[in-house]
Amino acid sequence: MEKRQDPTAGIPDRASPWRLPLAPALLFAFSLLFFPFNQAFALQLITHPNSDIAEISRSSARAVFSMRRQVWPDGAAVRVFVFPDKHKLHKAFAKQLLGVFPHQLRRAWDRKVFSGTGQAPETVQSETEMIEMIKKTPGAIGYISEDNRDESVQILQVE
Amino acid sequence: MNRYRFCKWSRRLVLLGWLLPPLATASSLFGDENLQIHGFLSQGYTHTSANSWFGDSSNGSWDFRELGLNASYRITPKLQISGQLLSLTAGEMQDGSPSLDYGLLDYNFANYDNGNLGLRLGRVKTPIGLYNETRDVAFTRPTNFLPQSIYFDKVRNLELSNDGFEIYGDLLTDWGDLLFQGGMGKPVTDENVEYAYLGNDWQGELNSDLFFFGRVMYELDGGRIRLSATIADGDLDFEPGPTDPFSNGTVGIQLRVLSFQYNAEAWRFTTEYMQEDVINRDLGAFRPDGDSMAEGYYLQLAHDLFSDWEIIARYDVSYLNRDDRDGTKQEAGPFGIPAHNMFAKDWTLGLRWDITPAFMVRGEYHWVDGTAWLSSRENNFFQTERYWQMFSLLASYRF
């Protein structure tokens, strides 16, 4: 008698080992969609053209952008300008120049704003708007990418 | 009734939702860069398997609402005035009547490259642990209900804010930043404080004396690691009414909190530990002189999923009396209060979705063993159930 051919022969069954790596592979591919590799941007701090400060320490810069430093040494009010939390330049700025995560800055601002101990920074949407605001606001500080070098604002070096 | 009230409120909220964003931009319309206006509104739904929390929750309660509106103005670069109006509805504990949450003058008199020093005068938020100063802003809380071991909602006003002053400063060094706040003031107490420390709203009054408070915080790498120690110390004075069972005496309170937080890019670990001395003096036979210590702690892990979701897990433990953690002494005592009212162990799992930067929803589930942080305004302690669960859903908008 001829043995009947197994109709499922050649079709890997559900428990077959080759299927296993598929799940992690899919997960990895999926995660690429949501976690694009961090891009590095060359960034620079900029201030109002009349500022007489040429460099600032990283901890002072953090204090300024956490809204803890309210007055410049010359007595002018500090005016902080930032891009929205999810803006690629803001993320890069927080991590590269300040060494903090954007969510830490957001928390620090919320603590200030909702306990009466400080104010939130001004948000701008584009680099053109950033340069525009920094130029016309005495005491202003912000950041732009290095490609956007602009002679009309002062560049501030982070030590 | 409940459903009717919810409809009424949801309509008001929708209306506010339309009105507020233009208000937020109004400050720039005034053309004054020194003025800022911000606010928030939250609506919560609470459902418990037993017991009452923020309303008649075992039937599902909508009685959890937070509305806040604040303004700040920089009079000079060093001088700022600010105030916030708050309306909180929390079941039987808070009825939604508006109050001044804070109102203060902030004078930042010394500014250096590596630090600064200032003075705040007026109604100042009490700095306790990591979350207290903005405890009513859903966006700044890790969960819909803060860990009750430390941020008690049943006596929130004792911790909330105080009328007085505080000195603050920060020192930036190469090995991290040191931030401190310290001051004195009268906590803005209410009848909830009386319920919590004397068990009822008596004819007489429980008023607070001057409290001293201080917090030191150490932050490494701009807050990647945060460590803090808090102390708050003061007395509550009881002036009895003619039929009250207590005599003219005091309840002394000292609160101590240690906090630790580690912030990574996509996850955060937080833990806090609290001790609270409660010292009864001269209150008479029904509340004999004695010292007891309440204790609590929690461990919490939060993780960002994708970019707008956060999942959070927490274990939170409260003991009303450190020498009677399981409550057996209390149950054997003259009032026979069931033991499980002396502790609470709460496992929480929550999921938050930031739909936009200004609008978020959060759902969380609590598995609780014990009823220590329930309010006697909402529960009869002889009828509470030891094991219970809670589901909470909250939507919040801010500007």
Q: How far does the CA of residue B306 sit from the closest CA of chain A (Å)?
A: 6
Cβ atoms of residues A93 and A85 within 8 Å: no
φ, ψ (nearest 5 deg) of residue B183: -175, -170
CA A121 to chain CA mean position, Å: 15
Domain B2-398: CATH superfamily is: Porin (2.40.160.10)
What digits encode the pLDDT tens for the residues A97-108? 999 999 999 999
- Give the confidence band of B383 by pLDDT, cuts at 50, 70, 90: very high
pLDDT value of residue B31? 66
Q: CB within 8 A of B350, min separation 6: which ones?
A: B142, B143, B144, B311, B312, B313, B314, B362, B363, B364, B365
Question: Whose CA is closest to B107, among A126, A129, A117, A51?
Answer: A117
Q: How far does the CA of residue B239 sit from the closest CA of chain A (Å)?
A: 32
Asked if B221 is an interface residue toward chain A (Cβ–Cβ < 8 A), one would say yes
- Which comes out higher in pLDDT, residue B227 or B251? B227
Which chain B residues are closer than 8 Å to A120 by Cβ? Answer: 36, 38
Q: Are strands A55-56 and A154-158 parallel, antiparallel or unpaired?
A: parallel
Indicate the SS3 state at residue B347.
Answer: strand
- Give the confidence band of B201 by pLDDT, cuts at 50, 70, 90: confident
- Which comes out higher in pLDDT, residue B240 or A8? B240
Which chain B residues are closer than 8 Å to A62 by Cβ? Answer: 172, 177, 222
What digits encode the pLDDT tens for the residues B259-282? 999 999 899 999 999 999 999 888
Sign of dihedral through CA atoms B373, B379, B244, B193?
positive
Considering only the beta carbons, identify the residue of A71, A77, A100 that sits closest to B223: A100
Considering only the beta carbons, identify the residue of B104, B120, B263 that sits closest to A101: B263
Average pLDDT over residues A50-78: 90
Rounded to the nearest integer, the mean pLDDT of chain A is: 82
Domains and CATH numbers, chain A: 43-158 (3.40.190.10)
Q: CB within 8 A of B102, min separation 6: which ones?
A: A115, A116, B82, B83, B84, B122, B123, B124, B125, B161
Considering only the beta carbons, identify the residue of B38, B84, B113 that sits closest to A60: B113
Asked if the Cβ–Cβ distance from A63 to B170 is below 8 Å, we say: yes
Q: How far does the CA of residue B129 sit from the closest CA of chain A (Å)?
A: 13
- Name the DSSP letter for residue B192: H
pLDDT value of residue B1? 40
Asked if the Cβ–Cβ distance from B133 to A114 is below 8 Å, we say: yes
Q: Identify the contact set of chain A against chain B, taking CB-CB distances under 8 A.
A: 34, 57, 59-60, 62-63, 66, 68-71, 73, 75-79, 84-86, 98-101, 103-104, 107-108, 110-111, 113-120, 122, 137, 139
Rounded to the nearest integer, the mean pLDDT of chain B is: 90
Give me the residues of B, 313-352, that contact A with CB < 8 A.
none
Asked if the Cβ–Cβ distance from A104 to B177 is below 8 Å, we say: no
pLDDT value at B13 more than 60: no
Q: List the beta bridge partners of residue B104.
A: B82, B122
Considering only the beta carbons, identify the residue of A63, A85, A110 that sits closest to B140: A110
Q: List the beta bridge partners of residue B299.
A: B271, B315
Asked if B107 is an interface residue toward chain A (Cβ–Cβ < 8 A), one would say no
Q: How far does the CA of residue A77 sit from the closest CA of chain B (Å)?
A: 5
Element (H, E) at B87: strand B79-90
Considering only the beta carbons, identify the residue of B103, B116, B222 that sits closest to A98: B222
A35, A115, A119, best to mutate vs chain B, most B CBs in 10 Å: A115
pLDDT value at A11 more than 60: no
Considering only the beta carbons, identify the residue of B33, B70, B77 that sits closest to A70: B77
Dihedral angle computed from the Cα positions of residues B166, B182, A66 and B140, in that order, rounded to the nearest 10 degrees: -90
Q: How far does the CA of residue A82 sit from the closest CA of chain B (Å)?
A: 15
Question: Structure tokens of B176?
Answer: 């991290």
Report chain B's terminal Cα–Cα distance, integer Å.
31
> Could you tell me the residue ranges of all domains in chain B?
2-398
pLDDT value at B334 more than 70: yes
Average pLDDT over residues B315-319: 98
B177, B270, B305, B396, best to mutate vs chain A, most A CBs in 10 Å: B177
High-pLDDT (> 90) share of chain B, % = 69
pLDDT value of residue A122? 95
- What long-range pairs does A111-114 form, CB within 8 A, spacing at least 24? A111/B133, A111/B134, A111/B140, A112/A67, A113/B36, A113/B38, A113/B70, A113/B72, A114/B38, A114/B40, A114/B68, A114/B70, A114/B84, A114/B133, A114/B134, A114/B137, A114/B140
- Which comes out higher in pLDDT, residue A92 or B114? A92
- Give the confidence band of B170 by pLDDT, cuts at 50, 70, 90: very high
pLDDT value of residue B10? 53
pLDDT value of residue A97? 92
pLDDT value of residue A6? 55
Q: Are strands B290-305 and B309-319 parallel, antiparallel or unpaired?
A: antiparallel
CA distances to A87, B65, B136 from B10, in Å: 33, 11, 19
pLDDT value at B102 more than 80: yes
Average pLDDT over residues B308-323: 96
Asked if the Cβ–Cβ distance from A70 to B168 is below 8 Å, we say: no
ipTM of this model? 0.89
Asked if the Cβ–Cβ distance from B137 to A114 is below 8 Å, we say: yes
- Give the confidence band of B3 by pLDDT, cuts at 50, 70, 90: very low
What is d(CA B186, CA B15) in angstroms, rounded to the nearest whole number?
A: 37
What is d(CA B64, CA A149) in angstroms, rounded to the nearest whole number?
A: 51
Which chain B residues are closer than 8 Å to A77 by Cβ? Answer: 74, 77
Q: Which of B279-283, B297-301, B346-350 has the lowest mean pLDDT?
A: B279-283
Dihedral angle computed from the Cα positions of residues B17, B18, B19 and B25, in that order, rounded to the nearest 10 degrees: 90
What is d(CA B227, CA B229) in angstroms, rounded to the nearest whole number?
A: 7
What is d(CA B272, CA B81) in angstroms, rounded to the nearest whole number?
A: 32
pLDDT value of residue B244? 85
Q: List the beta bridge partners of residue B276.
A: B255, B294
Question: Structure tokens of B8?
Answer: 């009424």
Asked if the Cβ–Cβ distance from A59 to B168 is below 8 Å, we say: no
High-pLDDT (> 70) share of chain B, % = 92
- Which comes out higher in pLDDT, residue A53 or B256? B256
- Give the confidence band of B377 by pLDDT, cuts at 50, 70, 90: confident
